[in-house]
Amino acid sequence: MQTIQQHFQVAYSYSIYFTRNLFEESNPLLRSFFEALHEPGFRRKALVVVDAGLLPHYPELPDAITSYFSTFSSHVHLVPDILLVPGGEQAKNDPALFDQLVRAVDEHGIDRHSFVIAIGGGAMLDLVGYAAAVSHRGVKHIRIPTTVLSQNDSGVGVKNGINYHGKKNFLGTFAPPVAVFNDLTFLESLDDRDWRAGISEAIKVALIKDRTFFAWIEANAEALARRDSAPMEYLIHRCAEMHTEHIRSGDPFEFGSSRPLDFGHWAAHKLEYLTDFSIRHGEAVAIGIALDSVYSTQSGLLPAAELERILTVFHTLGFELYHPKLSENDKLNLRNGLQEFREHLGGQLTIMLLERIGKGVEVHHMDTDVIASAVDYLQALYPSFAS
Amino acid sequence: MQTIQQHFQVAYSYSIYFTRNLFEESNPLLRSFFEALHEPGFRRKALVVVDAGLLPHYPELPDAITSYFSTFSSHVHLVPDILLVPGGEQAKNDPALFDQLVRAVDEHGIDRHSFVIAIGGGAMLDLVGYAAAVSHRGVKHIRIPTTVLSQNDSGVGVKNGINYHGKKNFLGTFAPPVAVFNDLTFLESLDDRDWRAGISEAIKVALIKDRTFFAWIEANAEALARRDSAPMEYLIHRCAEMHTEHIRSGDPFEFGSSRPLDFGHWAAHKLEYLTDFSIRHGEAVAIGIALDSVYSTQSGLLPAAELERILTVFHTLGFELYHPKLSENDKLNLRNGLQEFREHLGGQLTIMLLERIGKGVEVHHMDTDVIASAVDYLQALYPSFAS
């Protein structure tokens, strides 16, 4: 009998809004979003989930959310219980939190035309996004990222996930949100490490794609280091723009092997595990970028003067670019990360390196001796860190 | 700052092959599929999961699979342990089975360019498909459905899922397989109930979309009832074709509220639960279709002569169209199913009814008195069943 050929396309569309004080009653942005969606006959609900780490800085946040939603309750009905879940990578290691979220979707009758709204850092957004994506085969999900990293990178993208038996993002889906609201006031509460850490994803995307943006970061590195808000807002907007443009024009759900946005990430993922997540994702990414940049130079791809600029910009921003765990066990622990990275992506090993600032190049092999030598180079630069 | 607009499309494509004796070495179909995918540098693996209910009928199946794959091991490496999981709806109620599958994907290093191949009935395919869809954010998934129902309907579509706290398909995703292989020899092992049950989805799709196909089923009902294989093969092919055409031309991942293929399913889902799954999904669908057809006539939509044809074709095929659970608790238990169906779909209640054979019509309200009266009508037709 004749083979049946199935083929179709699925269209996705969402906006990333930039604002301040999202839940102030005078701010019409979120209200307008729900009003525009209103359809007679639909009774939409919204379940709000807040990163518990925000509460010490914003104790009034749950009340502000409740008041804000009360001004348009005919368009969307807020579930009165605002759910709190812990933030940080550890939240992605705890299956009980995933269960708690799924149960809340069930108990509060959140259907596929209702909303789960997550407010928090990147790890917590990944967790809540995954629970929303698999409940009823996907309820509508709104992200309100509160950190530099989530506002310019993970929170504006299409992935979610949780860890499983020590494997990062082993369980997850590709599931675009229906909207992202970047509220820049949340950045004020970040400690210096979190403020800085998110900048490494902007440096990453500049290094592989946009020399002009890198030069802008160089010129503004000192202002960013002293926490000026204007350059940070530009950096987040430009990075989010490049991140979404990359998803749009490429392979949104990563059916192929190429993942240029994972520049510096093979070592970063491994280092996060080797340090038991005592370093932030963005801090690990900075080290991973430094390592792969040194590797690029040592293997003859990237001119030394370009490497110098890269290391200098990280240094000006206050990043440490070496960690003793890189050298542990004769660097074998780190090098195992390369194989694990290949397994997670699948297929052929594909690693992004640099041939110059603004231009990445993919390779399918890394020389373990050169990796070891690149680690030694970073250690020599930062002797204070040697174990 | 300017809002960033994100929009993109994701393309999906897969084939549904029809064959016999898929794992006989002389059958090139599956081998050719893997050979066509071969790329140097990729080492693809295949994890095969078999519905344990097949083994009493096909004790040689695991060995046949192992032998078959050994003939092209340079293109795909079969994981030596063939996994067995129970089939039937109860498999979707057991979270430990989902865990077992995810663990197997992890332990055997199945990456996003490797395959999970599921061989079994619809429930088991839903379970394995869900585990494959969320592992590494989606490993490649091949379905080999072994029942009428899964070969003509669920197995050729894009959904997967498991039950959660008694809610059918509460957890799941939309995730197209990379290929479907309908091996018609598996149908020979079905008992009469499973052979018959799958026909109800073909009647469903004929009733809402294709008067000619319905007339064909009418003309072949006696041959189908006595298990002639030629009309069954045509029925499966035509139903699979209409099912995939519907997905392709409509709303593949069901972002809207309209689900015409759920004709007869609101009552069917509820009845499955009320009977503790002692009746097959297809048997429940037959009753659900009968109920909504009687309702269509009693509410003035469907001519009585058309209803007569519908009930007759089910009767000729040997379906029972009444179950005492329909009447339980003054029919309130059944009627609660309408609200639960709305909640699972979300948004406005949307129910498909018939205005004639081959033409469905959507309504947004059902009259509870007419539902009760339709139940009474079916009970009167089948007095042997009265409790």
**pLDDT-derived band of residue A343, with 50, 70 and 90 as boundaries?**
confident
Which is nearest to A274 in space by CA: A188, A155, A353, A168?
A168
| Structure tokens given for A354 | 């640099």
Supply the pLDDT for residue A217: 98
Mean pLDDT value of segment A325-345: 89
The yes/no answer to whether this complex scores an ipTM above 0.90 is: yes
- The answer for residues whose C-beta is within 8 angstroms of residue A56's C-beta and 6 or more apart is none
Q: Which residues pair with B9 in a beta bridge?
A: A11
> What integer is the mean pLDDT of B314-340?
94
Question: Using one digit for the tens of pLDDT, what is the confidence trace for A252-307?
Answer: 998 887 788 899 999 999 999 899 989 999 999 999 999 999 999 999 999 999 99
pLDDT one-digit tens code per residue, A363-376: 999 999 999 999 99
Inter-chain CB proximity A138 and B9 less than 8 Å = no
CB nearest to A114's CB, from B111, B112, B346 = B346
> Which of A182-196, B14-28, B33-47, B189-203 has the weakest average pLDDT?
B33-47
Evaluated on CA atoms B315, B320, B326, B330, the torsion sign reads: positive
Considering just the CA atoms, what is the radius of gyration of chain A in Å? 21
Candidates A4, A17, A169; nearest CB to B241: A4
**Cα B110 from chain centre:** 26
Between CA B95 and CA B101, with CA B96 as vertex, the angle to 5 degrees is 100
Categorise residue A221: left if φ over 0, alpha if ψ from -120 to 50, beta otherwise. alpha
Contact B180, B15 (CB under 8 A): yes
Q: What is the number of CB-based contacts under 8 A between chain A and chain B?
A: 196
Structure tokens at A337: 């990360």
Confidence of residue A384 (pLDDT cuts 50, 70, 90): low
> CB–CB of A164 and B106 under 8 A?
yes
User: Is A9 close to B9, i.e. CB distance below 8 A?
Assistant: yes
The reported pLDDT for the residue numbered B348 is: 79
Alpha carbons within 13 angstroms on the beta-carbon side of residue B68 total 21
- pLDDT, one tens digit per residue, over B132-181 is 999 999 999 999 999 999 999 999 999 999 999 878 899 999 999 999 99
Lowest mean pLDDT among A140-144, A331-335, B204-208, B383-387: B383-387
3-state DSSP assignment of residue A382: coil
**pLDDT > 90 in chain A, percent:** 86
Of A106, A169, A342, the CB nearest to B167: A106
pLDDT at B201 over 90: yes
In a mutational test of the B interface, the residue from A2, A7, A9, A10 whose CB has the highest number of chain B CBs within 10 Å is: A10
Average pLDDT over residues B235-239: 98
Judged against a pLDDT cut of 50, whether residue B387 lies above it is answered with no
Query: Residue B50: in which H helix or E strand, if any?
Result: strand B45-51
Tokens for A375?
């680690």
- Chain segment A76-106, per-residue pLDDT in tens: 999 999 999 999 888 999 999 999 999 999 9
- pLDDT above 80: residue A142: yes
Question: What's the pLDDT tens digit per position in A221-247?
Answer: 999 999 999 999 999 999 999 999 999
User: Which pLDDT value is given to residue B384?
Assistant: 57
pLDDT of residue A383: 66
Asked if pLDDT for residue A387 goes beyond 60, the answer is no
Residue A194 reports pLDDT greater than 70: yes
- Average pLDDT value over all residues in chain A: 94
CB contact under 8 Å between A1 and B237, yes or no, is yes
Is A6 in contact with B109 (Cβ distance < 8 A)? no
Q: Given a cut of 50, is residue A386 above it in pLDDT?
A: no
Give the C-alpha separation, A374 to A298, whole Å. 7
- For A158-187, write each residue's pLDDT tens digit: 999 999 987 889 999 999 999 999 999 999
| pLDDT-based confidence at residue A114 (cuts at 50, 70, 90) | very high
Give pLDDT, residue A257: 74
pLDDT band at A21 (very low <50, low <70, confident <90, very high): very high
Tell me the average pLDDT across B347-361: 93
Determine the pLDDT at residue B383: 66
Taking the CA atoms of B254, B256, B262 and B266 in sequence, report the sign of the dihedral they define. positive
How many Å apart are CA A100 and CA A87, to the nearest integer?
14
- Which domains are assigned to chain A? 15-189 (3.40.50.1970), 192-385 (1.20.1090.10)
Answer whether B173 sits within 8 Å of A173, measured CB to CB. yes
